[in-house]
């Protein structure tokens, strides 16, 4: 009821208080103001091509969303509210009303471009102006049944402490969903999101087949590889436990090393069941994660901006010292690192974790970002 005047006669203190109450309830009943733009830009009136569930579905959970400056059109602006909307096109079935205890941080100065975001650490990617804009506040997500055309309404509006975004920078929101009073849980609810599928010329990291690690089951791998001027981060899990000495060998050949053929059986050297899968042209030493059960050892390296590195293929393998296993060494199977071409800048990156153990180590990563309304 914007524009309504409150006039009580004769004027009195009670009349003044009454007018103030009228104004308060009128403001509370007024419809929420629509966002002025979105992250990424130009999604106010169009549905995005994907959906996601963190930070809207699981508690506890953490997500770190980074948008490239090329998809931010709000200019230098003080942000006072962010909004989310349910997914319309990718979800079948009703979404369940619920509320979560949410904390949020925002940063822009010094935030890496999505192609340079590390998948090994949340803290590595944070900007120098990182600010808490929401502190453990209960946020409600209403019930919603997808159907129809076009995007869903902005049903989740979150007032935040003002954050000064500086134009020309990436923008990052870190979402932390706390533990509900009843313990960890989840609800069927998905927010609208845009997936920026990597161009065919992006690099990649895969595990070669046949799978042949020691131990030969239970180990995992993941990685993200860009092109020249971007980043390379790859890891294997060894199941060796925490803080174990580890090394990653990186080579240019998977067929020979030092005159010997690959793969090389390491049983004669006291490591039964293990093989060397790659030549050793470089190595990175360190230790497995200080927490968790995977015995994960990862490598994070910048790829020099050298066109000669485009489309280069490398091979890698982790070795982890573990006195309680076999010959005292756990070895991964072979990883293939394919460096990409000179590619367009990645537009978004979403790291997330949903489990009862939220720490600095992301569990998952996607070239995807939620659609976020901005005021």
CATH number, domain with residue 255: 2.60.40.1930
Is residue 1 situated within a structural domain?
no
pTM above threshold 0.75: no
Count of structural domains within the chain: 2
Whether residue 104 is found in the same domain as residue 234:
no
Task: State the maximum Cα–Cα separation within the chain, in Å, rounded to a whole number.
Answer: 103
Q: Return the SS3 of 49.
A: coil
Whether residue 174 is found in the same domain as residue 228:
no
Q: How confident is the prediction along the chain (375 residues), in pLDDT tens digits per residue?
A: 333 333 333 444 444 433 433 333 333 333 457 899 999 999 999 999 999 999 999 999 999 999 999 999 999 999 999 999 999 988 888 999 999 999 999 999 999 999 888 877 899 999 999 999 999 999 999 999 998 888 999 999 999 999 999 999 999 999 999 988 888 899 999 999 999 876 667 788 888 765 678 887 767 788 888 888 888 888 888 888 899 999 999 999 999 999 999 999 999 999 998 999 999 999 999 999 887 767 889 898 888 888 889 999 999 999 999 998 888 999 998 999 999 886 567 899 999 998 767 888 888 888 899 999 999
CA distances 336 to 28, 221, 223, 243, 253, Å, are 57, 11, 10, 25, 10
Listed in sequence order, the residues at least 6 apart from 26 whose beta carbon sits closer than 8 Å to its beta carbon are 1, 2, 4
Domain that holds residue 156: 37-198+344-374
Whether residue 219 is found in the same domain as residue 165:
no
Whether residue 333 is found in the same domain as residue 352:
no
Whether residue 41 is found in the same domain as residue 116:
yes
Whether residue 253 is found in the same domain as residue 184:
no
Is residue 17 situated within a structural domain?
no
- Residue 18 is predicted with a pLDDT of 39
Whether residue 356 is found in the same domain as residue 288:
no
CA dihedral 265, 267, 271, 273 (to 10 degrees): 70
Whether residue 149 is found in the same domain as residue 296:
no
The helix, strand and coil proportions of the chain, stated in percent and rounded to the nearest 5, come to 10, 40, 50
Whether residue 190 is found in the same domain as residue 210:
no
- Return d(Cα 335, Cα 314) in angstroms, integer: 8
Q: Which of 205, 237, 224 lies closest to 338 in space, CA to CA?
A: 205
Contact indicator for 320, 240 with CB cutoff of 8 Å: yes
- Residue 20 is predicted with a pLDDT of 39
């Amino acid at each position: 009821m914007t524009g309504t005047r409150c006039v009580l006669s004769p004027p009195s203190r009670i009349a003044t208080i009454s007018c103030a109450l009228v104004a308060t309830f009128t403001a509370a009943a007024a419809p929420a103001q629509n966002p002025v733009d979105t992250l990424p830009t130009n999604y106010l009136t169009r549905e995005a091509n994907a959906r996601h569930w963190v930070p809207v579905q699981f508690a506890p959970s953490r997500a770190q969303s980074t948008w490239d400056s090329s998809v931010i059109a709000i200019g230098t602006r003080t942000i006072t509210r962010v909004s989310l909307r349910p997914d319309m096109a990718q979800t079948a079935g009703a979404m369940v009303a619920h509320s979560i205890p949410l904390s949020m941080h925002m940063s822009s100065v010094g935030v890496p471009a999505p192609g340079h975001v590390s998948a090994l650490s949340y803290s590595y990617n944070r900007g120098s102006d990182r600010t808490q804009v929401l502190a453990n506040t209960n946020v409600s997500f209403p019930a919603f049944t997808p159907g129809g055309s076009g995007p869903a309404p902005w049903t989740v509006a979150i007032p935040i402490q003002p954050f000064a975004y500086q134009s020309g920078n990436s923008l990052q929101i870190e979402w932390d969903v706390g533990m509900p009073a009843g313990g960890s849980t989840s609800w069927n609810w998905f927010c609208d999101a845009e997936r920026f599928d990597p161009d065919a010329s992006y690099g990649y990291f895969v595990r070669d087949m046949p799978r042949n690690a020691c131990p030969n089951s239970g180990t995992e791998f993941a990685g993200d590889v860009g092109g020249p001027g971007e980043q390379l981060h790859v890891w294997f899990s060894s199941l060796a436990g925490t803080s174990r000495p580890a090394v990653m060998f990186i080579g240019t050949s998977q067929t020979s090393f030092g005159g010997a053929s690959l793969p090389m059986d390491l049983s004669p050297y006291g490591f039964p069941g293990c093989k060397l899968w790659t030549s050793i042209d470089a190595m990175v030493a360190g230790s497995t994660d200080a927490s968790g059960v995977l015995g994960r050892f990862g490598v994070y390296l910048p790829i020099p901006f050298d066109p000669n590195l485009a489309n280069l293929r490398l091979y890698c393998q982790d070795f982890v010292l573990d006195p309680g296993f076999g010959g005292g060494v756990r070895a991964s199977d072979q990883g293939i690192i394919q460096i990409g071409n000179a590619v367009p800048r990645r537009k978004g990156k979403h790291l997330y974790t949903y489990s009862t153990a939220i720490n600095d180590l992301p569990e998952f990563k996607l070239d995807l970002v939620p659609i976020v309304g901005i005021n």
